[in-house]
Amino acid sequence: MKTEHRRINIRTTNSELNQSLAYFALFIFVFALMAILQPRRFFSGTNLQQLAFQIPEFGILAIGMMVAMISGGIDLSIITTANLAGITSAIVMLTLSHRGTMDLNALLQGIMADESTRQALQEAMPTGIAMIGIVAVTVLTALAVGMLCGLFNGFLVAKVRITPILATLGTMKLYEGIALVITKGSPLTGFPDEFIFLGSGTMLGIPTPMVIFILAIIGLAIMLRKTPLGRGIYAVGENPLAARYSGLDNSKILLKTYATTGLMSGLAALVMMARVDSIKVGYGNSFQLQSILVVILGGVSTVGGTGNIIGVVFSVLILRVISSGFNIMGFSNYMRNVIWGSLLIVVAIVISSGFSFAKSKKQKQQKIQGAAPQK
Amino acid sequence: MQKRQITSKFLFRHEPMLFIVMIIFAIIVNSINAAFLTPENMFDILKTSSITGMMALGVMIVMISGGIDISFTAIATVSMQVTVRFLMAIDKGNIVTAFLLAGLIGALMGCINGFFVYRFKLPTLIVTLGTSSIFHGLLLSVLRIPHLYSVPGYYFDFSRMSLFTFTTAGGTEIGLSSLTVLLFVMALLVWLILRFTMLGRGIYAIGGNIEAAKRAGFNIMLIQMFIYSFIGFTAGLASIEYVAMFRHVHPFNMMNMMLNVIAAVVLGGTSFSGGSGTVIGTLLGVWMIYMITNSLILMGVPSEWEPVVIGFVIIFSIGISAMQKSLRKTEVKIIEN
């Protein structure tokens, strides 16, 4: 009995290793292709640096989407969740750091655009420990708002039993609406340097956003592989009915799944607004399609239950390298959308046919091995 | 026992409930602003909602079959641009050719969706998300000037035609717009198809259980091709209605209508998991959405609140129907026991 279990375990890890190697090879291939096509501009310091700073915000959103899709659902509200989390935390940060010098309305009317007042305001901000405290509060606010938005999605999916597509389509509009009501569509800017560090600073030579991204990957990998919750997410995605009959609390697991996705959106919002020093409704809209594309490219089945984080992370890298290649070649945004859309369908076709093949093979093997251990 | 079941069945029916809610809503809004329940406003809602209504008919059919299509706004935008530009280039044509051409282009693009959905059995969301950005991206990367602010006169002439007109006590002349008439004709067509043809039965059957439908001998390919080309067709018709009503061609405006259309269909009681949905319910859902947005304006609510309200309405209405469904399920279980 025990040896049987072990053998299966080893086999799955082997196939996962193979898969990761395949993704790594694909990444190297794409990287080399770009390098050969445009050697001077692709390898220029600014391009590689830009890549290192731009990958994390998209990557964090994508791994959040991955969690939702493994559970058999989808979250179409990740971008607007990130916008809402960013805007609320920006307001908290700006009001705290301009306490007494500026009120919320002035903030929202965009007085910050004037350079001289802006500098004066920057100088009037608190410094040292007080500022670090404010940044900590900001970070917590963004994470909390993201998580709350996610929890609401999870509530709709798990408790009210709305299909994830529709539930998150509705909340997408809702969160966007709330963010619009708060800001009236104008951008918020003029963040303190201590906060900007999160998006454009470096730690030991590594860009801070990259550090945050790597920490998020490790955290999610541990959650998905080592905790009962992670196993539960896979089980619910694979077969919700079987999961329920084997004693799992499906709705609790789904609640936590969407909360995690929301949390990642909040984190991505922080990185995004710290990199460009502003936040506005509509930032990152193009990531919607791309994040689904990346998750499917990363080997997560479109019906849930399978997939691992390594594949998705490599897909993020692959997509961003291709995207920077488009930048260099001067493709318009519209042309890029055409390419991403075509890629989405092609990848979905390839992966789904590949998966059905693997599954039938697995089933055959199970049939050949017989159901002896079960009996 | 028998009586109780009948009343509960009536309450579980979506359309009468929605109708009652609409009436209550109208009375409440009218008590705040008396301009709401006037013939002018009601006919105005009928006219402006006809574009959404047209697309909602297509979305309803897709959702009955258990799928979702989010590419119909892109299809509408493309067929609008191509049709209007082509007819202007050859300097011929009238409103009928415009509708037919736009419908044909839309149906062809819908066929592409249908092909991917049928041949590769991909999730419909993934397919239509992909084709949506392909269609819209191709259009915008080909066009030099994406806006057209002057279109031939026959579009506007069509939108001003009315089936009948009458004069209100206030002296304004109002009538049932030709746009609404076109919507009613299409609604009747969809109702006939769903109610009396094998094709219609097949659409419901696919939504209920595609495997069972296949075993029962339905031609899945034909049905799915019909479904996706039909939503393309309605999107094409809706795009010409848009040109007729607003007298311009715009590359983005119709893209933003997607969520309202889906909201209207869901509000009308079409089940997202497929297998149920009615034409009457969908039309009621469309009018309900327009009554809500119209009343927000009349009550002086700032326009940025609209997405918040629509978002809530979607969530609330889907939530209610999801709960009705689970209630019904437990009832069935009790009866079985």
Mean pLDDT of chain B: 85
Q: Given an 8 Å threshold on Cβ–Cβ distance, is B123 in contact with A348?
A: yes
Q: What is the 3-state secondary structure (H, E, C) of A91-108?
A: HHHHHHHCCCCCCHHHHH
Query: Of A79, A254, A337, which to mutate for an interface test with B (greatest number of B Cβ within 10 Å)?
Result: A337
Q: Is the pLDDT of residue B195 over 60?
A: yes
- The owner of tokens 């109208």 is B26
pLDDT of residue A77: 92
Q: Give the residue from A143, A138, A136, A141 showing the smallest Cα distance to A60.
A: A143
C-alpha to C-alpha distance for B48 and B303, rounded to whole angstroms: 17
Residues B196, B117, A168, B12, Cα dihedral to 10°: 20
Q: Which residue has the higher pLDDT, B298 or A35?
A: B298
Tokens of A304: 């849930």
Give residue-wise pLDDT tens across range B135-178: 999 998 888 777 888 888 888 888 888 777 777 777 677 778 88
Alpha-carbon torsion (B54, B315, B122, A243), positive or negative: negative
> Half-sphere exposure of A367 toward its Cβ, with a 13 Å CA cutoff?
6
Query: What angle is formed at CA A36 by the lines to CA A32 and CA A41, rounded to 5 degrees?
Result: 105
Q: How far is B29 from chain A (nearest CA, A)?
A: 22
Is A157 in contact with A254 (CB distance < 8 Å)?
Answer: yes
The residue of chain A nearest to residue B265, with distances taken between CA atoms, is A166
Task: Identify which has the larger pLDDT, A282 or B112.
Answer: B112
* Residue A246 identity: S
- What pLDDT, on the 0 to 100 scale, is given for residue B33? 83
| pLDDT for B124 beyond 50 | yes
Q: What is the pLDDT of residue A374?
A: 39
Q: Which residue has the higher pLDDT, B334 or A340?
A: A340
Distances (CA, A) of B120 to A306, A347, B127, B128, B272: 19, 12, 10, 13, 21
High-pLDDT (> 90) share of chain B, %: 36
Alpha carbon of B95: minimum distance to chain A alpha carbons (Å): 31
Across the interface, of A162, A175, A338, the residue whose CB is closest to B319 is A162
For residue A337, give both structure tokens. Answer: 């959308």
Angle ∠(A198,A203,A204) on CA atoms, nearest 5: 170
Beta strands in chain B (DSSP E): 162-167, 173-177
CA–CA distance, B212 with B220 (Å, rounded to integer)? 11
Q: Which of A108, A168, A169, A301 to mutate to test binding with chain B, by most B CBs within 10 Å of its CB?
A: A169
B33 secondary structure, DSSP code: -
Q: Exposure of A292 by Cβ count < 10 A (0-12 exposed, 13-18 middle, 19+ buried)?
A: buried
Distant-in-sequence, close-in-space partners of B308: CB < 8 Å, separation ≥ 6: A174, A177, A178, A180, A181
Calpha distance B206→A69 (Å, rounded): 24
List all residues 6 or more positions away from B237 whose beta carbon is below 8 Å from its beta carbon.
Answer: B54, B99, B102, B103, B106, B182, B186
Which residues 141-160 on chain A approach chain B with CB closer than 8 angstroms? 156, 160
Select from B105, B38, B117, B34 the least CA-distant residue to B76. B105
Q: What is the pLDDT of residues B223-246, one digit of tens each?
A: 999 999 999 999 999 999 999 988
Q: Is A353 on the interface with B (CB under 8 A)?
A: yes
- Give me the amino acid identity at A175: Y
Higher pLDDT, A295 or B7: A295
Cα atoms found within 13 Å of the Cα of residue A374, Cβ hemisphere only = 5
Greatest CA span in chain A, whole angstroms?
80
Helix or strand run (H / E) with residue B4: helix B2-12
Maximum distance among all alpha carbons in chain B?
Answer: 70
H-run or E-run covering A202: strand A202-203
Here the ipTM equals: 0.84
- Residue A160, classed as helix, strand or coil, is coil
The residue with greater pLDDT, B213 or A13, is: B213
How much of chain B is in helix, strand and coil states, percent to nearest 5? 75, 5, 20
Structure tokens given for B265: 């269909």
What are the Cα distances from residue B117, in Å, to A22, A48, A344, B69, B113?
28, 39, 14, 11, 6
Residues of B with CB below 8 A from A302's CB? 122-123, 126
Q: How far is B249 from chain A (nearest CA, A)?
A: 18
How far apart are the C-alpha atoms of B256 and B239, rounded to whole Å?
Answer: 13
With CA atoms as reference, report the closest residue to A122 among A98, A100, A105, A139: A98
Q: Using pLDDT thresholds of 50, 70 and 90, give the confidence band for residue B284.
A: very high
Quick one: pLDDT band at residue B333, thresholds 50, 70, 90?
low
Q: Are B274 and B62 within 8 A, CB to CB?
A: no
Q: Is B196 left (phi over 0), alpha (psi -120 to 50) or beta?
A: alpha
- pLDDT means per 10 residues, chain A with 375 residues, are 42 62 80 77 73 88 92 91 93 79 61 60 69 87 94 90 86 89 82 82 83 92 89 87 84 92 94 87 84 87 82 89 80 85 86 58 49 39
Contacts of A265 (CB under 8 A, 6+ apart): A61, A64, A78, A79, A81, A82, A85, A146, A149, A150
Cα separation, A172 vs B283, whole angstroms: 24
Contacts with A172 from chain B: Cβ below 8 Å: 259, 311
State the number of CA atoms in the 13 A half-sphere of B186 facing the CB. Answer: 29
Q: B256: nearest CA in chain A?
A: A173
| Amino acid in position B278 | T
> What is the pLDDT at residue A112?
54
Rg (chain B; Cα; Å): 21
Alpha-carbon radius of gyration of chain A: 22
- Pull the structure tokens for residue A267: 């984190």
Spatial neighbors of B213 by CB under 8 A, at least 6 apart, are B202, B205, B206, B220
B301: nearest CA partner in chain A: A181
Neighbours of A354 (CB within 10 A): 11
pLDDT of residue A370: 45
How many residues make up chain B in this entry? 337
Distance (Å, whole) CA A212 – CA A270: 10
Residues of B in contact with A352 (CB under 8 A): 120-122
